[in-house]
Structure 1
Amino acid sequence: MKKVVTVCPYCASGCKINLVVDNGKIVRAEAAQGKTNQGTLWSEGLLRLGFY
């Protein structure tokens, strides 16, 4: 598995997300340490990505 750092697309805040990828598929999303989100994620962003 590998982690890919990306930005949440659901608002203009620019929160960083670590996407955990296994065999080319996203299996988990985790908060990344960023200036905006400070290591947390908004639950709505996770729900819209399908991680519930």
Structure 2
Amino acid sequence: MYKLLAKLNHWLLPNYTKEQLDLAKATKVQKAIIAWKYFVTTRALG
């Protein structure tokens, strides 16, 4: 299930690494998206 969510995240959510987002300047929504992507990715790998 998490592997499917990880694929959906890749297609639907923005990639902040390519945008070179500074975490200190990130909004709460951007931080929430980063946290969600981290959560799903770690579960998909494990």
Same-fold status (TM-score > 0.5): no
Higher relative contact order, structure no. (Cα contacts within 8 Å, ≥ 6 residues apart): 2
Q: Which has the larger radius of gyration?
A: 2
TM (norm. structure 1) is 0.27
TM (norm. structure 2) is 0.29
More strand as a share of residues: 1
